[in-house]
Amino acid sequence: MNMMESAKPAEDDTALPVSERIRARILNANQRFHANDNIASFIAPGETDALLDEVAAKMKGVLESLVIDTESDHNTHDTARRVAKMYLTEVFRGRYVAAPPVTEFPNAERLNELMIVGPITVRSACSHHFCPVIGSIWIGVLPNEHTNVIGLSKYARLAEWVMGRPQIQEEAVVQLADLIQEKTQPDGLAIVMEASHFCMSWRGVKDMDSKMINSVMRGVFLKDPNLRREFLSLIPKKG
């Protein structure tokens, strides 16, 4: 049962906080809004500023509950707004803005050799603690004559957009693979991500050296162990 059915449409109710208006639109469209989902198409022009005000006010409440004197402590006086701005416009920007424009070209040269892009720097944060996740990605593409070709820098743009959300590494690489697959339609796609999770070093077990490595293989990379080996041998040794 859809709980929203009985509720009146919140669309024009400007008395509601902007986050609730956005949430109502997402629920009406039956879409998901997990931490690593992009919700840009549900945000009306101009609402981002209102959202920033709302998050800043709530962040101020967090500082108050942490018993920090933001009135006399000049260091934390504007922290609430700085954190709100950092979340909405920097580190979690990939939730709130539309996908970067990527021009696709036909594969006029009929490229059909393994192509590797990387390392692409990854800056993300874990969904569990909002702690930074910093690392690198390598992308392997095996094009065919129908594959769309995109500029090398576009892989980095797409990765930045997907990683600019609270993420779980395993889900992040799958989201990125789906996006590149959809944009370029190659015969094979391989992604390896290696990252340090600050929730392992700054807190928790406080292990400074642990890194998480994972990969997704699609198409011919799944079927052809030689191709997989070639890709893995060409990306720099990790550890």
Residues that bind Zn ion (CB under 5 A): 126, 128-129, 199
Name the residue number minimizing CB distance to Zn ion: 199
> Within 13 A of 179's CA, how many CA atoms are on the CB side?
26
Closer Cβ to Zn ion, 82 or 128, answer by number: 128
Q: Which is nearer to Zn ion, 36 or 184 (CB)?
A: 36
The burial class, CB within 10 Å (0-12 / 13-18 / 19+), for 47 is middle
22, 31 Cβ separation under 8 angstroms:
no
Picking from 111, 119, 114, the residue whose alpha carbon sits closest to that of residue 228 is: 114
Q: Element (H or E) spanning 151, and its range?
A: none
| Of 111 and 199, CB closest to Zn ion | 199
Tokens found for residue 18: 């902007």
For residues 80 and 126, which CB has a smaller minimum distance to Zn ion in the complex?
Answer: 126
Residue 129 CB, shortest distance to Zn ion, in Å, is 4
Tell the smallest beta-carbon distance from residue 94 to Zn ion (Å). Answer: 18
| φ/ψ (deg, to 5) at 148 | -80, 140
Rounded CA separation 67/85 (Å): 22
The partner residues of 141 in beta bridges, in order of sequence, read 115, 189
Q: Which one, 67 or 205, has the nearer CB to Zn ion?
A: 205
Closest CB 130 distance from Zn ion, rounded Å: 8
- C-beta of 123: minimal distance to Zn ion in Å? 15
The DSSP code for 5 is G
Nearer to Zn ion, 128 or 238 (CB): 128
Q: Count CB-CB contacts under 10 A for residue 48.
A: 15
Q: How far is the CB of 31 from Zn ion (least distance, A)?
A: 25
- State the minimum distance, in angstroms, from the CB of residue 206 to Zn ion: 13
Q: Which residues contact 60 (CB under 8 A, 6 or more apart)?
A: 70, 80
